[in-house]
Structure 1
Amino acid sequence: MSCAAIVHNPTPFVADKFVLADLAGNDVVLTVVSATFEASSGTSLKVAEVQQPIALADAYFGDPRHSSVQVESQLGLMKPCVDVIVRGNVHAPRGAAASTVHFGIAVGRMRKHLIACGDRTWTIGAGGRTPSAPQPFIAMPVVFERAFGGADQSSCCPENPVGVGYRTCRSADPAIRTELPNIEYADSRMTRPSDTVRVAGTGSIARGWQPRLAYAGTFDAAWLDRKWPLLPDDFDARHYQAAPHDQQFPDLPGGERIALVNMTEDGAWHFDLPDVRLSTRYRFDAGHDAQPLRLDTVLIEPEHRRVVMIWKNLQKMSRKRGLLHDIIVFRTRTA
């Protein structure tokens, strides 16, 4: 189904509509708003002059078969929780090379403590194989290629098949030479080749990795006979969540204090999440319907001192309502 409705957007943000199918195959209109804020100085965020576009497709750091997600499409249907995704680097304090750097993020009361460790190899001693001393570094990308995981010819780490350390696998990125993870949770670190530790990261988890894959549903012969090309009956909307589980929030009303440690060159960046309320008004043949937009994703890019917030609303189409003529996006409150 096509939709000729015009999107009226008096806000400074980017807004668009997309006609999709829901789980039952019914036509729905997904309204997406992308709002970009930046901090030119200090900690207060202002509306950016250049607004980031809505991502229409997934983008990877390299070959999609062997790399992690750089940007995920923002056209997924409604997420049960709000994703907070941080895409950037860890920086050694004061720009002086360090072998180990503690870093992390805080959102409200949530604290996430990670460690970046320089490249290491397995050394053989009387007690077996142990990690070598880490090599110093100044800055390091926080990507899943540098976290625990990996794949060989017989198996892979389902939570991160592109990582390093699983069954002594090397990273899928040939430029990464370390034999142990660079990025780890502070309380879950690899010390033996047989260790299985938690996959650490702050970016987007790929759709085909666990735990997301478990929520995608059952694609079997019955699905092929009865449901294709729609999603399976047991599809779970948690499949849309791209952030690590500890970066998902039931709601973020706005005003929450967000802090990043050692993810900027000056060591710390903190700001209050913009308190913005957005709504939509749909004009059908049969009348109007006003709906609030729900915050879906917060993307933080500390290298650019930039925050992108994504809001969405899902509107079902109905013959009783007639044609949809206009979609108006407007702010109901800005603090």
Structure 2
Amino acid sequence: MEFRNHTPFPGLAFQGVDQRAQPFHVAVLRQTLTWNDDAAMRFAEVQMPLCEEDVPLDSSSSTAVLQESDLCHFKPRCDVIVNATAYAPNPSDGTPTHSFLVGLRMSREGDVSINKVLRVHGRRAFAYVRNRRGELEWQLTAGDVVSALSVDLRSAWGGQCRVDPGTLEGNRLIAEVGSNPKVGEHGALKWEHFAENPAGIGFLRDWYLRAHGLTQLSAPQIEYVDRPITARHLEQALVGDSAGLPDLVAGLGIRPKGHPERAKQVGTVDQAFIQSSTPLPHDFDFSVWNAAWPDQQVDHMVGDELLELVNLANPRDRALHRDVHGNSRLALRLPGHQPFVLARYENGAFGELPARLDTVIIEPDRRLVHLVWRAVLATAPAVRVLEYRLLQSDAVMRARAAVDSAAHGGGYGG
């Protein structure tokens, strides 16, 4: 099959496969947009290439990901991902900020599909201190003054505990258990991680606490407004009580592939599957490729939605508007262009297939929005040529108006 891309955007066609080992064609296209000082969106002069492999958040992180590969076979829903810095409000009286709200909202014609609000704190800690009764207990300190914070999983609830052999902490652990523990597959004497977010902070186990002799621990700086983190959550983690703790992980970016709720969508990987020749488990769910948090996934996007960010864009961006409290708001309207695929079949027939918008990545600090479109079609009848084309927004509007008119009896012969 030949692939032709008649658009100025990076595109690619490849073959996918489903749970029944049935192949299908996949055509993916990535658009890069920017905006001007009036918040009017346009295509960027430099179009970013397709993301062909997962990009880690930083060189030291193997679990936190900035973006995932565009070359997945299919996404049932659309991901809306925000890779941003939170900037504190700038009140007119100059009052310092210790915590503030950030928000993502998406709507179309007044219908709100995403409305997510998080609270960002200055640097704070869990401290083991004496209370008024003179008893030692864990308390959450007040946050320091904060002006900006990267909104990523490194500052959210989570983390991991590890004690290595040949260290002072390892010797303490050996002395506690009374024997020499076996070194595990990770090369550690003991290792536990918070599966929902190994890159985070706040998660602590009692054996790690004793081995290190800790009396203070960095606390998460990002949380859901309706799920505030308290010292009680740390006390739960210490004794291995995980009830409610997964719901504390707050972010706007990508949910880790190792997150239990996402990982189980891979399906049953047992010995029977491993020894079989089938490409995917029989209960594989394509939802595993939806990388955004569930409250940032939508069933369908048209491509002309309104995206609104609160306190998530650089204060120097002239497209921002501020309220009386100094909160910034960036409102971006997607342009409404519609990519589509034209299939030319071996039997001489041809057909058009709309592409689905299944990934939106917003990067306010770079003044960029990435749109990933995907079209999926069967391999039978045989396709000779697959072409990506683009319908400009004015043509899209005319086509919609014609459909609406026909539906109300205003078409031909009406």
Q: Same fold (TM over 0.5)?
A: yes
The residue type paired with residue 228 of structure 2 is: R
**Which is worse superposed, 58-67 or 130-139?**
58-67
The residue type paired with residue 334 of structure 2 is: L
**Structure 1 residue matching 2:90: 3-state secondary structure:** helix
Instruction: For 2:60 and 2:285, locate their aligned partners in 1 and report how far apart those are by CA, in whole Å.
Output: 24
2:179 equivalent to 1:130: no
Q: Equivalent of 1:281, from 342, 365, 372?
A: 342
**Matched-pair contact (CA < 8 Å) for 1:91–1:264:** yes
**Which is worse superposed, 141-150 or 120-129?**
120-129
Equivalent in the alignment of 1:162: 199
Q: Shift of residue 223 of structure 1?
A: 0.5
Q: Equivalent of 1:59, from 51, 55, 62?
A: 55
Instruction: For 1:65 and 1:138, locate their aligned partners in 2 and report how far apart those are by CA, in whole Å.
Output: 25
Larger Cα Rg: Structure 1 or Structure 2? Answer: 2
Q: Shift of residue 251 of structure 1?
A: 0.8
Q: Equivalent of 1:243, from 275, 281, 292?
A: 292
**Matched-pair contact (CA < 8 Å) for 1:94–1:265:** no
Instruction: For 1:70 and 1:255, locate their aligned partners in 2 and report how far apart those are by CA, in whole Å.
Output: 25
The runs of 5 or more residues in structure 1 that have no matched partner are 171-176
Instruction: For 1:215 and 1:255, locate their aligned partners in 2 and report how far apart those are by CA, in whole Å.
Output: 30
**Matched-pair contact (CA < 8 Å) for 2:303–2:336:** yes
**Structure 2 residue matching 1:30: 3-state secondary structure:** strand
Higher helix proportion? 2
Equivalent in the alignment of 2:407: none
Instruction: For 2:59 and 2:43, locate their aligned partners in 1 and report how far apart those are by CA, in whole Å.
Output: 34
* Per-residue Cα deviation, 1:148-180 (whole angstroms, up to 9, x for no partner): 11122453222112111123689xxxxxx9611
Percent of residue pairs identical: 27
Q: Shift of residue 303 of structure 1?
A: 0.8
Instruction: For 2:75 and 2:156, locate their aligned partners in 1 and report how far apart those are by CA, in whole Å.
Output: 26
**Which is worse superposed, 45-54 or 150-159?**
150-159
Instruction: For 1:332 and 1:265, locate their aligned partners in 2 and report how far apart those are by CA, in whole Å.
Output: 32
* Per-residue Cα deviation, 1:208-237 (whole angstroms, up to 9, x for no partner): 223210111111101112245x11011111
**Which is worse superposed, 28-37 or 195-204?**
195-204
Equivalent in the alignment of 1:173: none
Equivalent in the alignment of 1:7: 4
**Matched-pair contact (CA < 8 Å) for 2:303–2:357:** no
Q: CA RMSD in A?
A: 2.3
Equivalent in the alignment of 1:270: 331
**Matched-pair contact (CA < 8 Å) for 2:3–2:386:** yes
Instruction: For 1:60 and 1:112, locate their aligned partners in 2 and report how far apart those are by CA, in whole Å.
Output: 24
Structure-1-length-normalised TM-score:
0.88
**Matched-pair contact (CA < 8 Å) for 1:255–1:272:** yes
- Count, aligned residues: 321
Q: Shift of residue 140 of structure 1?
A: 1.0
Equivalent in the alignment of 2:122: 118
Q: Equivalent of 2:389, from 320, 330, 334?
A: 330
**Structure 1 residue matching 2:272: 3-state secondary structure:** helix
Structure-2-length-normalised TM-score:
0.72
Equivalent in the alignment of 1:101: 100
Q: Equivalent of 2:68, from 64, 68, 72?
A: 72
Pairing 1:129-278 to 2, within 5 Å after superposition: 129-152=138-161, 153-167=190-204, 179-192=218-231, 193-194=234-235, 196=245, 197-228=247-278, 230-266=279-315, 267-278=328-339
Change (3 A) 1:64 1:311: farther
The runs of 5 or more residues in structure 2 that have no matched partner are 162-189, 210-215, 237-244, 316-327, 395-414
Equivalent in the alignment of 2:356: 294
